[in-house]
Structure 1
């Protein structure tokens, strides 16, 4: 623990050296003169601090880095750095997904995937996929990236570079080498990189007094479209979960992400880079999974791959809906309903269908969607009845039917409030009903007076649920 504290304390870049133990045996914050040791009894063995191990020098680790990880030394702007380079034919599959399909994703699709106009003019081959392995997940100045993977598409090849921090004093050269590599690209691709990887790297660039313009490039974060599509089916939308359940790739002997910081600290104590072999493989597979995922998202937007699961199709429909592709979204919702959805998603799909149809001017079809929702007898039935009442009031001018539907909504709204605002749902329905009854009288229609019993309507009677 003293050794680890000493290493972490080195992050104060203005000084270097072992921390002097205080008389209590705890690590101090700064060295201080020791009082005379004459006539002082020897401290108890249990309280004697063991001397810290020396720094792992760059030259010391290089032979083992080359031997066990097939790495090499590269000369960067701030000195030598350690890197592992690999290349893979784009024809390689990650599970069911060929890496080469990412090459078909153009700027228009990148803009749709990321919902970011700055991506529209970019070429996929000019994007750097990035992923960091760190000393913790909390962020801030106390968290370092000790392994940064960068991947890109070079013609029919996927190239990966993994920059490694052998010990804390080498961080400036490590960060400078990363910046030099990223300077050659027009944009970034990550998985949750907007919230974690890039802010972390920005902190490290700032603390090492290096320019960070390479991190200000247009950025496609794959977490957000992935969560939009697959969150309704998967328990977690972590990259590993999507890799397994969407891409169909299962890793053998993969190291869990939560243990990676400890493996790095184990390496710092032992100096044995073999401790980190699985971490390098984990990082490489994360990079390849992002390349494959971009290809899969592009295929889904091109309708080359259509999900065969209702919740996934609903998620795709919401993405298409927000992109303004209403017709494709409607097809996705209808297919999702056919394949089967849990009750809550079924209601949400019908609501989205009705809203999209009404927005496109197909009000009769929108009314049919609201009627289907009313028949579901779920928590959204009151809303569906009110929307049907609006349709009969404004489109059909059938005020009697509109009033009847409003009364039925009144049976449900006390148990299932769905209107928010200063007025209660009951108040709003009461005002609507009074207005409809006035309109019905003026039109010579005879609205029924609600007596508390069941009434004839266009939908099946709705039983008040619990």
Structure 2
């Protein structure tokens, strides 16, 4: 296996939306190249990881230049990804991450769950761009955003597969360079695409995709009847814990150490077409100050839904405040 590292200057993406959900958490932009679409029969032959440190970007690539390199490639990839809190991909939830998980399992490796901000899903499901663009492939989005000049490679993922087959037969530098360049440009261009979130309903996307809150990964949020139902994972020091509703803590919270899962149910009420919950009773006077600036937080109550419209931003901010300040017994 070859490890290739490229360090370059980059214009840092500074976004209020991203900071609202991710703060200063370390992240990686991630992309893989494979010998085909099926993780049952095909291999990972190249992984690209973009890390940001100040105004400097580092692209780390692990390349299988020998037939039996996949296991050590995956080991190196997973080790690097374990150093960040979340990863950014383009269609990674449907392809890159499941592919790596299945190939890692085949080699007896464990891919610990890592939050994945899938920019393709954000744009595809939470913006009008699907109606505007003929294709939502990454290169099409780059062209729409005026970023085509930042890409040097001229091949597709499918062409990369054919080039790799030729490379394994002759091992020429030119073939290797073209394969690496495609992956290298993919991760850099994906980072440059992040400003597109301003054209999306990002709060709705986070409600649907989940987000990080303190030491917890909120995976699914649903309004079930009047109540708010939340499930997810404990990221560090998982515990077994059960809390049933009381006057001081009017919610049900169940945590499972073995599965690292948690389940939160907050009772709500309804009135004149609106659903709401008692945010003040749950967060307390000090913590609720963090969200009472939002229009759907009124007199200590969080309006979760108003005449059929869900207040995604306020619900997300409420849950972040809850999980970032919750105090639970140590294991």
Structure-1-length-normalised TM-score? 0.41
Point out the structure with the larger helix share. Answer: 1
Describe the superposition over 1:144-195 as per-residue Cα deviations: whole angstroms up to 9, x where unpaired: 1101000011111111101001122222221111111111111111000010
Structure 2: distance between partners of 1:274 and 1:174: 21
User: What's the CA shift string for 1:379-406, capped at 9, x where partnerless?
Assistant: xxxxxxxxxxxxxxxxxxxxxxxxxxxx
Q: 1:248 aligns with which of 147, 154, 157?
A: 147
- Match of residue 31 from structure 2: 131
Indicate how the Cα distance of structure 1 residues 195 and 243 shifts in structure 2: closer, same or farther if over 3 A, else same: same
The 1:257/1:296 distance shift into structure 2, 3 A limit, reads: same
Mapping of residues 237-386 of structure 1, within 5 Å: 237-250=136-149, 251-252=151-152, 254-297=154-197, 300=198, 316=200
Distance 1:204 1:90, change over 3 A: same
Tell me the alpha carbon deviations over residues 197-236 of structure 1, each in whole angstroms, 9 at most, x when there is no partner: 01111112111112211xx111100001222321111000
* Alpha-carbon distance, 1:276 to partner: 2.5
Aligned residues of 2:152 and 2:181 also touching (Cα < 8 A): no
Name the counterpart of 1:226.
123
Higher strand share: 2
Shift of 1:252: 4.7
| Aligned-partner Cα distance in 1 for 2:193–2:134 | 18
Q: Which residue of 2 aligns with 1:464?
A: none
Structure 1 distance, partners of 2:9, 2:204, is: 36
In the superposition, relative to structure 1, how do residues 231 and 128 fare at CA in structure 2: closer, same or farther (>3 Å)?
same
Q: Distance in 1 between matches of 2:55 and 2:202?
A: 30
- CA drift of 1:269 comes to 1.2
- Determine the structure 1 residue equivalent to 2:8: 88
Structure 1's unaligned 5+ residue stretches are 1-80, 92-99, 112-119, 302-315, 325-357, 361-466
User: 5+ unaligned residues in a row in structure 2: which ranges?
Assistant: 208-271, 275-331
Q: Does the aligned pair in 2 maintain the 1:189–1:220 contact within 8 Å? A: yes
Aligned counterpart for 2:18 among listed residues 109, 118, 127: 109
1:23-82 Cα offsets, whole Å, 9 max, x none, are xxxxxxxxxxxxxxxxxxxxxxxxxxxxxxxxxxxxxxxxxxxxxxxxxxxxxxxxxx41
Residues 359 and 322 of structure 1: is their aligned pair in 2 closer, same or farther, counting only changes over 3 Å? farther
Instruction: Report how many aligned residue pairs link the two structures.
Output: 207
| Deviations, residues 347-402 of structure 1 (Å, cap 9, x unaligned) | xxxxxxxxxxx989xxxxxxxxxxxxxxxxxxxxxxxxxxxxxxxxxxxxxxxxxx
Separation in 2 of the partners of 1:322 and 1:277? 36
- Whether contact under 8 Å (1:122, 1:186) holds in the other structure is no
Partner Cα distance (1:165, 1:105) in 2 = 36
C-alpha distance 223-359 of structure 1, shift in aligned 2 (>3 A): farther
User: Aligned partners of 1:322, 1:170: CA distance in 2, in Å?
Assistant: 37
User: Equivalent residue of 1:151, what SS?
Assistant: strand
Q: Matched residues in 2 for 1:323 and 1:359: separation?
A: 25
Closer/same/farther in 2, CA of residues 233 and 205 from structure 1, 3 Å limit? same
Q: What is the root-mean-square deviation of aligned Cα atoms in Å?
A: 2.6
Give the whole-Å Cα distance in 2 for the aligned partners of 1:161 and 1:89: 14
Change (3 A) 1:131 1:150: same
| Cα contact 2:39–2:103 (8 A) shared by 1 | no
Counterpart of 1:353 in structure 2 is: none
SS in 2 for 1:161: strand
Change (3 A) 1:322 1:156: closer
Structure with higher Rg: it is 1
Q: Which residue of 2 aligns with 1:407?
A: none
